[in-house]
Structure 1
Amino acid sequence: MSEVLPLRDRITLADTPNAVGLARLHTTRLLSSWGVPAGVVETARLLVSELTTNAVQHPKEGLPPVSLFSAERTVQTLELSLEVARGAVRVAVWDRDATPPVLKAPESEATSGRGILIIESLSRDWGCYPARGGLPGKVVWAEIDLAPPSHVDGNEDSERPRAVRR
């Protein structure tokens, strides 16, 4: 019996506002080239957008918040990892901020703060762990099924696995 190796890819991006669009484009092109179904590619693209946006927007550990467009902002890098294995697509983003994401219900008038809520809603599982290999920061990841679950009773929520918060 031959073992199917997982498909994996990583890309390093500057943590600037254009990183989000580049990460989405890379995700779409790569997963499509791997034969991932279009609906799954679109969901992965949205997860990548949210995870990358969080990595770009949130303040770096120990530093005061600085506007993304300020001359005082120092540019660092983040890393996007994509993997297809064991019936799932896994997206992960490493950044230098060790502060874990927090799942919260934003105010109805808030213009931001829904990223992790979106990740929770769209993924079968998600989590966060400290960066490894002596790197600072954390990795936030999310997984989605390659094939949508079957719905016998027509109630989509009854069969959808809930995300585990880590």
Structure 2
Amino acid sequence: MENPDDAADGKQRVHLRSGSLRGAAPATLHLLPCEVPVSRPAPVERFFTPAVRSGADGLQVSFRGRCLQGEEVAVPPGFSGFVMVTEEMGKGLIRKLNSGDAEDKTNKAQEPLARDFDRSIGATGSFSHFTLWGLETVPGPDAKVHRALDWPSLAAAIHAQVPED
């Protein structure tokens, strides 16, 4: 990607700020069945503080007058979950979990981005499980999230050595 025309082709390089992974604080995650058309940090914890109830059908909560039912989903064994954020051009990593913005102090010697189409990402939180919510029903084993989390074990099985018999 040394060619300057690569930017025009829509190609991007993404650089991981690995120092941010070590300092990522534990985060509580809720995957909601809705879309919020915003591409900037939002003070979600000010507006979404769920009063989760355990019911016969799993977890229950009300969101804007609608009943949501959910379940706890674990990250596959051998993997870790991270909340990632894209770094703004010319600025340090934006760290926003519960209060204010701060630069990533774990990576003091951050190199500047090489090109306009390069992007850097870093972790603002880590998790080993999250709550998956469905609108009026528990998402269940056929949910896209469950199928996506099955990929690591499927990929390992596909790429495993086959004994010659």
Which bracket does the TM-score occupy, shorter chain normalised? under 0.3
Greater share of strand = 2
Larger radius of gyration: 2
Greater share of helix = 1
TM-score by length of 1: 0.25
Larger RCO, structure (CA 8 Å, separation 6 or more) = 2
TM-score by length of 2: 0.25
